[in-house]
Amino acid sequence: MNGFESNFFTCTESGDAVVLRLDLPQLTEEDNLEQLDEEFTALVETFGVRKLIVNLERLNYLTSHAIGKLIGLHRRMQRVEGVLVLCSAGDDVQQILQTAHLWTYFKMASSPSEAVTLLV
């Protein structure tokens, strides 16, 4: 992952998986969500990430537009036969994803260590 920098998340490697920890408390239209999408695309297409964990522990709120970027990332990972797991969602983010009927759409884990076990 040398050379990859993001304004939205911190990237670490865990074996053959990449763990992204979203660093912002909110993802809204006030943020450059197109840049977020470009960074997601770079991870998959340029850096060849096939096992990805997105840690949501710092995220308190996201809009439907931001959810759309996560759905796009999920679809992108499926197209390359990769696996995406979201983890550590707080109560507010859980409620948003459940209200949007997406809680079961994504693979969800309560912690990064649990997420690693779902990367199959």
pLDDT at 85 over 70: yes
Global pTM reads 0.93
8-state DSSP, 2: T
Please state, in angstroms and rounded to a whole number, the distance separating the CA atoms of residues 81 and 74. 10
Q: Report the SS3 class of residue 19.
A: strand
pLDDT at 1 over 90: no
pLDDT digits (tens, 9 = 90+) for 12-43: 998 899 999 999 999 988 878 999 999 999 99
CB 53 within 8 A of CB 20: yes
pLDDT at 69 over 80: yes
**Mind listing the domains of the chain with CATH numbers?**
9-117 (3.30.750.24)
Please state, in angstroms and rounded to a whole number, the distance separating the CA atoms of residues 12 and 52. 10
